[in-house]
Amino acid sequence: MKTQYCIIALVLLCSITRVFGQNDTTKYQLLWEIKSKNNAHVSYLFGSMHSNDARMFNFPDTLYHGFVNAQTVVVETDVSALFETYDVRLDPYKLDIIEKLNQTDGTRTAYGSEDGRPQFLDAYFQECAYAAGKRVVMLETFEEQVAASEKVSSSATAFNSGANRYSEKMFVDAYLNGDIISLTKMLKAQLYGNPDVYDIFISKRNKVMANGLDSLMKKSNVFCVIGSGHLYGSDGVVQLLRNKGFTVRRVDPVRHETSVAKTQMQAYNSYIHKNPHYNFEVKLTGKPLESKDNGFYKALYVELGQGNTYEVHVSPGESDLEGCKTEFIVNQHYRPVEITLEDGTYAIEGIVKSKIKGYQWKRIFVKNGFTYELICYGGNKFMHSNRPQTYFDRFQVVPK
């Protein structure tokens, strides 16, 4: 199954953890400046970790500058391909989450929890790039990552047994210090006895990434973010770029409370999605996937870090809203609400239950010959918050 292979890929690339140590700036090697003798382009390479913990988002000033001024943002693969692949929420989604569970308890996800940032680190940069209108290039296709995962899936048991050699705290302390040497040594130690796994999933992919960056940096200045496990060593991307003639320099992690570039990048935390054919626009935290089948339209956006999902469904024709009421949950806590939108449109909203995705907030209304269904769902905190209502209210039907 693709879900299984995808999860294996994420585990092998970086440990997901939520325990943090103190920064040691003398070892920081996550951010690199790249220059070529053949052009004036200045590019940057940043090593990430698949986590949404907010403390990982304390970036050096130069990172903001490099991102804001980059013409092209490069990532490993298109993380939006994960939107339809699997549900990142790890906790069981039962009725007691709606009725009994303490509303302050955050649901765990494959990338952290609801207590972290909406997107995990890699996805954050990709979404900011879309919001900034930058060119986004993937070094690998999602299918290529899945294929690599399939090759190493048989070694997952051996990897997991070796993972006990190092604590989560050791991995994260090394990452926050920017100590890619220790990160790589621990990763190799975990895979001791499985050299083929490291070769397939790290070394061979490093060559692909370095070749891709070589081509891209000849044409424009680039900001690239890849897993920190791909940076160090004679087969790491840093050295491979040096072998190709680039000057690659470590950047010190200087941080200030405010900077022009940081303020600019913070403005990229939202994305206005517009569809003129179906006459709507909606504000999200990133760019959704769109699909259409026999006239039925769907836009899907997932905050992979927190596990929140937002959907827009549009179908031609006017549905019977009274008949739609039967799908909403009615109990002592929740029942469908009939409302009148600002433009006078009649709508119904409340909680429904999907056999596959669990409990969801939903608003449905009819306008201009279309039936619009707005759906959103997430973990415990999301379902008990005002964020579903905020999402609904940000959706606007616009004149043709």
- Region class of 56: left (phi > 0), else alpha (psi between -120 and 50), else beta: alpha
Q: 3-state SS of the chain?
A: CHHHHHHHHHHHHCCCCCCCCCCCHHHCCCEEEEECCCCCCEEEEEEECCCCCHHHHCCCHHHHHHHHHCCEEEECCCHHHHCCCCCCECCCCCHHHHHCCCCCCCCEECCEECCCCCCCHHHHHHHHHHHCCCEEEECCCHHHHHHHHHHHHHHHHHHHHHHHHCCHHHHHHHHHCCCHHHHHHHHHHHCCCCHHHHHHHHHHHHHHHHHHHHHHHCCCCEEEEEEHHHCCCCCCHHHHHHHCCCEEEECCCCCCCCCHHHHHHHCCCCEEEEECCCCEEEEECCCCEEEEECCEEEEEEEECCCCEEEEEEEEECCCCHHHHHHHECCCCCCCCEEEECCCCCEEEEEEEEECCCEEEEEEEEEECCEEEEEEEECCHHHHCCCHHHHHHHHCEECCC
Q: Does residue 197 register a pLDDT over 50? A: yes
Confidence of residue 115 (pLDDT cuts 50, 70, 90): very high
- The mean pLDDT value for 9-15 works out to 42
Q: CATH second-level architecture of 270-397?
A: 3-Layer(aba) Sandwich (3.40)
Q: Tell me what pLDDT residue 331 has.
A: 73
Q: Tell me what pLDDT residue 235 has.
A: 94
Nearest by Cα to 351 from 388, 299, 322:
388
Q: Tell me what pLDDT residue 102 has.
A: 56
Q: Does residue 49 register a pLDDT over 70? A: yes
b/e code 14-43 from CB counts within 10 Å (16+ = b): bbbbbeeeebeeeebbbbbebbbeeeebbb
Q: Tell me what pLDDT residue 93 has.
A: 59
- The mean pLDDT value for 35-43 works out to 92
Q: Tell me what pLDDT residue 29 has.
A: 95
- The mean pLDDT value for 376-389 works out to 91
Amino acid present at 58: N
Q: Does residue 144 register a pLDDT over 90? A: no
Greater confidence (223 vs 177) lies with: 223
Q: Tell me what pLDDT residue 287 has.
A: 95
- The mean pLDDT value for 355-380 works out to 93
- The mean pLDDT value for 182-191 works out to 83
Confidence of residue 356 (pLDDT cuts 50, 70, 90): confident
Q: Does residue 19 register a pLDDT over 90? A: no
Q: Tell me what pLDDT residue 22 has.
A: 41
Confidence of residue 20 (pLDDT cuts 50, 70, 90): very low
Confidence of residue 177 (pLDDT cuts 50, 70, 90): confident
Q: Tell me what pLDDT residue 104 has.
A: 67
Each domain of the chain, given as residue ranges in start order, spans 2-265, 270-397
- The mean pLDDT value for 285-312 works out to 95
- The mean pLDDT value for 125-144 works out to 93
Q: Does residue 143 register a pLDDT over 70? A: yes
Which tokens go with 360?
A: 């969801």
Cβ contact 338:323 at 8 Å: no
Q: Does residue 146 register a pLDDT over 80? A: no
Q: Tell me what pLDDT residue 92 has.
A: 57
Least confident of 226-240, 266-280, 316-330: 316-330
Q: Does residue 251 register a pLDDT over 90? A: yes
What's the chain's average pLDDT?
A: 85
